[in-house]
Structure 1
Amino acid sequence: MRPGRQLAVLGIIFVVLYLLVFFAGGASGGWKDRLEPRLGLDLVGGTRLTLEATNTVDGRPPTAENLEEARQIIENRVNAFGVAEAEVVTEGDRNIVISLPGENRDLSDVGSAAELRFRKVLKATDGSGTLAAPVPSPTATPSGSPAASPEVEASPGAQASATPSAGGQGGMAPTPTPSASASPEPSPSGSVAPGPQTIEEQRKAVEEKVGAEAWQAANGLQAPADLTTDPSLAEKLAPFGTLSAREVAVLPVPVQFNVPTVGCAQLDERPPASIKDENQQAVACEGGIKYLLDQAKVLGTDVGNASAVLDQTSQWVVSLDFKSDGQRKWTELTREAFNNTGGACEASALGQDGKCRVAVVLDNTIVSSPEIQGVLTGDSQITGSFTQAAASELAGNLRYGALPVTFEEQEQQNVTATLGESHLRAGLLAAGIGMLLVVIYSFFYYRLLGSVIFLSLVLSALMLYGALVFLGRQIGFTLTLAGIAGIIVSLGVAADSFVIYFERLKDEIREGRSPRSAVPRAWVRARRTIISANAITIMSAVVLYVVSVGTVKGFAFALGMATVIDLLVVFLFRHPIMAMLARTKAFLSPRVSGLGRALPPRAEEQPAKPRNPRVKEA
């Protein structure tokens, strides 16, 4: 055996690894930046959100394909924030975990369905949920021609407009970006309810809760209840005010709109799929006003692209580019709204200029409901009091499409940078203490051989660190506190390899072999045991990685990678260096080598034979 060759191979591997660290895998910045591993949010702070998939929007259990499609859409939405090193992964067969290192963010909206619908506003009434008469129609104010781009009162306290321009654009002023509930629930417009019950069964349960009299009175209403003409309705309809948002979601559309005790507080909390069906009318709220909405004539799938841009007044807007067929639908919808075809829009729903309004509905929430001031033949804009982040978020939701699965938010965890830094210090301290204890014990028990253990651990640590940095940039591996725990556990695995080899070496020397011959023989006999022990650890790490979720995967990956590197160091460093030490004088000293009583007494320490006096006399 030529130990120099094995050490040379190890040196080449080490040099190549750090060349990759410094010059490959997207390395950039200074030397310090290139040596920084990718750390998880539990070490640097950030936000983690866990979403649990319930059912698909048509009521079926989610498949692996549905979950992967949803993961990709959510990842695109998260990346639209412009945050580096965002991580979106699936856990098991239902969970998606979103991790954003750095500043804390509200991620509750990224799991919304983002179903975009454009619907005419047919009627409006009070949405406070109290037993009051319907609100009067908005008071119209004088304005110029459609081309003058008048501002229109979309809802109390909000302004909106949709006007043609030279470029064929119109504006739509939104209320704040919606935050839809991610709880699965049936659609009152006919979509199948997730869960064991059908929509008919759930409606039956609601009927039993409010009572037959209230249910009959509600279904008999042809318009919003007017208590001035029938005061007895107040007592009959009162039970509807006790319904939860889930129960309100299963009510027929006319009941949702006509019953005054069904308020916007309940309607706004309905799950995303509640008004999904574009072929059915729907009820939604804006500014405390309850709107009856027409069938959706233009869908989110008709939008070719959406982007956050600055308009001429330096305000952030969301620009919509329609597809060819979508542009035709949009033009036809604005024509119907501008002309109020068939008188479909009642006076309570008209804008200030007596024109129909078109509601831009995202999931259950009306983003804006501008009065249409002309037939729009080009692309349009959603305008209003947007910040750059809000406009980018809405554009990302529209651009990347609706989720095929509805989600429930399980947990959102915010980890401060201070807490993450303390976790990192604690993890590094634990790793340092573990390594120090192994080194102290090895020097105490094996003396000179302890230096072999020390050098092996240092070399393993350097190679492991380089691998963490490179894999973090190349495949996105993120080191977490659990990963540090896996590395600490690997120290025990490495110590086992030393013990097996050195104790086998002692056995060979006790059998009468010289240290030089005992080293290769002990290696041959210990090698199989070392490989078997490490192979079991690696297989355990692989199984744990495959079947586990979350941070346990990081633990398993770090443990497996550290064990593989330990095997590499055993073969290319520990055995060659032992072969070289066996040729030194220090290796033959029991006090220095650490082999103890295994070595025989040295020749110079044996007593000299007595001289023969007769020879002297002769």
Structure 2
Amino acid sequence: MPPSKGTGHPLRLLGVYAVLLAVIYALVFFTGDKSPEPKLGIDLQGGTQVTLTPRTPDGGKPSKDSLKQAQQIIESRVNGLGVAGSEVVIDGNNLVITVPGSDGQQAKSLATTAKLYIRPVVGQPLPVGPDGKVQTGGEPAPGAEQPGTPPANTPAPGAGQQAPASGASPGTESKPSNDSGTASGTASSGETSGTGESSGTTAQNRVFPAPAQAPTTPAPAPAPSPEPGAPNPALTPQQQAKQEIDAARALRQSTDPQVQQLAAQRLDCHKPDPLAGNDDPKLPLVTCSSDGNEVYLLAPMRIDGQDIKDASSSLNQQSQWAVDLTFKNADAWADLTKEYLQKQVAFTLDSKVISAPVVQQGPQLGGTTQITGQFNASTAKELANSLKYGSLPLSFEVSEASTVSATLGLASLHAGLIAGAIGLVAVLLYCLLYYRMLGFLAGFSLVASGVAVYGIIVLLGRWINFTLDLAGIAGLIIGIGMTADSFVVFFERIKDEMREGRSFRSAVPRGWARAQRTNLSGKTVSLIASVVLYILAAGQVKGFAFTLGLTTVLDVVVLYLVTSPLMMLASRSPFWAKPSVNGLGAVQQIARERKAAGTLVGTGSR
């Protein structure tokens, strides 16, 4: 006997859902780390808690507004990196960041001040030895001037005039990244091209004197410069931080060339920088490259990182990870690249040089450029994320790092899973008792929804770093349970149609037409509530809202691709039409009684 008309339609819908499941689990098992396990949150796998203490230039307490702004920026960075389940809370005058896993480096990177300045490079960088300090022997860096170079715009006397550079200087080769002639380069290794400078630009060429080269005439001794000493037990941490910052500024941001030379010799690129994020952008700066291999003398800031409109990470034409920048004021970048054509311009992040490209073309229009360096996919994304959401109003130091145990969370998880299993079994038993064999269709819909949700959770953990915590599991259980609610609404609409005298076969499509409107209205309300809760909430409540919204969307998919097709197929089967199987005998009896009563009324009226 050929199948009745329309039987193929439900089968096609079920086939579509089967294909979706196949695609989901193909991605789970054949992409990424191929692990079928979701990432767990802090309360389930433990994590690292880092306490950040602010360092203010005046040594005073940070304002509440500054702490609140720093908290919001760090939370934005977390969201930019993905739904990672991290927490950022204010604890007195400190910020406490908690991230899943045992690696606290992620928490420390989130707390990076991310103050970006673009400063012209004065002269050539000096190489750093294995001890972290400028090498005191050997030849000066290419293009380095000898002591006694006259100040800006002053002609050099006789033979003391700077000769053109030899054509090579430390730094990675810089090439335009697009048609606008974007400058890019690295402050650490390789060679730059086109570094020749005119002899008239003495201000740009005034650099550190070569350490091994003695001046031809006795020079006056440099004025005593403050240098950070041993910690004073009598000082508070805030006062100690102020003392270190003031000393570093006096030594490394002096306008005296001899003090600048002294700063270069004393600077240790292997030690933490007390000036990180606290340098004065209006003064020169002696600082290290981010890899600690070179020391730079930089002119005052020309472009502030706050002028960055957008930042993103990408692979450039050399298949290297880079950070693409778009400036709010395109004219400022065009003027800078015009003025410093064939000269180095440094990008400093928290007082360290992360890139020092040679401007190859200028002026560069369009307000776009690219930072290249020793980046990988993760570090490039972190830097772009930090620049995109802005720098912190305060600089922080890690005062404490500890491990958060997952014991309590795992105990709660076991209890929650047991409670959830008991609840689902109770729902299935109720469906079987009330709807007889049709209750199995509700159970099948629950299983289909759960299988899809699990696969998607695994993929989200792999793609956007989503972590599953206790609140998220609660959202999953509630969301999956809503699938049973959809079935109940559908089944009750079928019973309403049968009370009006329709058969089981004709009642199913009519009941579906009425039930889907009710279900869609309910799902829309739930989805709106989830979105609002996710936007307004913080911490683990966000995880609850996210999983609740996810399962709400999947519930609609399961309703249309699984529940409805199964009921359509059941309505066309003589087996499922039996009252003993579908539990609709009482409803059919009511329909017969109503029909009989109507017949009697009609007969009596005649």
TM-score by length of 1: 0.49
Aligned equivalents of 1:553, 1:411: Cα separation in 2:
26
Amino acid aligned to 1:101: P
**Of 209, 227, 237, which residue of structure 2 is paired with 1:268?**
237
Distance apart, 1:12 and its partner CA: 1.8
| Distance in 2 (alpha carbons) for counterparts of 1:473 and 1:164 | 49
Per the TM alignment, residue 456 of structure 1 is displaced from its structure 2 partner at its CA by: 0.3
The code of the aligned residue for 2:418 comes to L
- 1:63–1:586 Cα change, 3 Å: same
Q: Which structure: larger Rg?
A: 1
Structure 1's 528 and 263: CA in aligned 2 closer, same or farther, altered over 3 A? Answer: same
Q: 1:405 aligns with which of 393, 399, 406?
A: 393
**Is 1:416 matched with 2:383?**
no
Q: How does 1:111-510 map to 2 (within 5 A)?
A: 111=111, 164-166=136-138, 263-270=232-239, 272=241, 276=245, 302-307=286-291, 319-323=292-296, 325=298, 404-406=392-394, 414-510=403-499
**Which amino acid is 1:555 matched to?**
F
Q: Are residues 1:513 and 2:502 paired?
A: yes
TM-superposed CA distance for 1:473, in Å, is 1.1
What is the letter of the counterpart of residue 28 of structure 1? D
Post-superposition Cα deviations, 1:42-72, rounded to whole Å, max 9, x if no partner, equal 1111124476989999979459997677679
| Aligned counterpart, 1:44 | 45
2-side partners of 1:18 and 1:37: how far apart? 13
Cα 1:579–1:96 shift into 2, 3 Å: farther
Say yes or no: does 1:20 pair with 2:27: yes
**Structure-2 residue corresponding to 1:576:** 565
**Counterparts of 1:56 and 1:11 in 2: how far apart (Å)?**
62
1:112–1:272: 8 Å Cα contact kept in structure 2? no
Q: Secondary structure at the match of 1:405?
A: coil
The answer as to whether partners of 2:498 and 2:504 remain within 8 angstroms in 1 is yes
- Residue aligning to 1:145: none
Whether contact under 8 Å (2:409, 2:470) holds in the other structure is no
Residue 594 of structure 1 and its aligned partner are, at CA, apart by 2.2
> How many residue pairs were aligned?
374
CA deviation map 1:141-183 (0-9, x unaligned) = xxxxxxxx9x9xxxxxxxx9987245889xxxxxxxxxxxxxx
Q: Indicate how the Cα distance of structure 1 residues 552 and 268 shifts in structure 2: closer, same or farther if over 3 A, else same.
A: same
- Could you say if the C-alpha distance between residues 6 and 550 of structure 1 is closer, same or farther in structure 2, counting changes exceeding 3 Å? same
Distance 1:453 1:42, change over 3 A: same
**Alpha-carbon deviations, 1:318-372, whole Å to 9, x = none?**
x34223548xxxxxxxxxxxxxxxxxxxxxxxxxxxxxxxxxxxx9xxxxxxxxx
- Alpha-carbon displacement from aligned partner over 1:390-443 (angstroms, at most 9, x marks no partner): xxxxxx99xx99963227899977422444443443343333233222212211
Residue pair 1:112, 1:406 contacting (<8 A) in 2 also: no
RMSD (Å), alpha carbons: 5.4
Q: Secondary structure at the match of 1:518?
A: helix
One-letter amino acid of the counterpart of residue 474, structure 2? A
Who is 2:536 aligned against? 547
Return the offset for 1:271.
7.8
- Secondary structure of 1:588's aligned partner: coil
Shift of 1:505: 0.7
In structure 2, the CA distance between the partners of 1:559 and 1:72, relative to structure 1 (3 Å rule), is closer
* SS across alignment from 2:290: strand
Does 1:4 find its partner at 2:30?
A: no
Kept in 2, the 8 Å contact 1:45–1:421? The answer is no
- What is the percentage of aligned positions where both structures have the same residue? 35
Query: How far apart are 1:5 and its partner, in Å?
Result: 1.6
Change (3 A) 1:539 1:112: closer
| CA distance in 1 between partners of 2:518 and 2:79 (Å) | 45
The alignment partner of 2:548 has SS state of: helix
CA contact (8 A) 1:534 1:563 kept: yes
Amino acid at match of 1:306: S
Alignment partner, residue 101 of structure 1: 100
3-state SS in 2 of match to 1:599:
helix
Which of 511, 521, 524 aligns to 1:535? It is: 524
Q: Is the 8 A contact 1:75 1:87 kept in 2?
A: no
Distance 1:420 1:587 in 2: 45
CA distance in 2, matches of 1:595, 1:301: 84
Distance 1:432 1:265, change over 3 A: farther
Kindly provide the CA deviation profile for residues 560-605 of structure 1, in whole angstroms up to 9, marking residues without a partner as x: 10111111010111111101111222322222212240124999xx
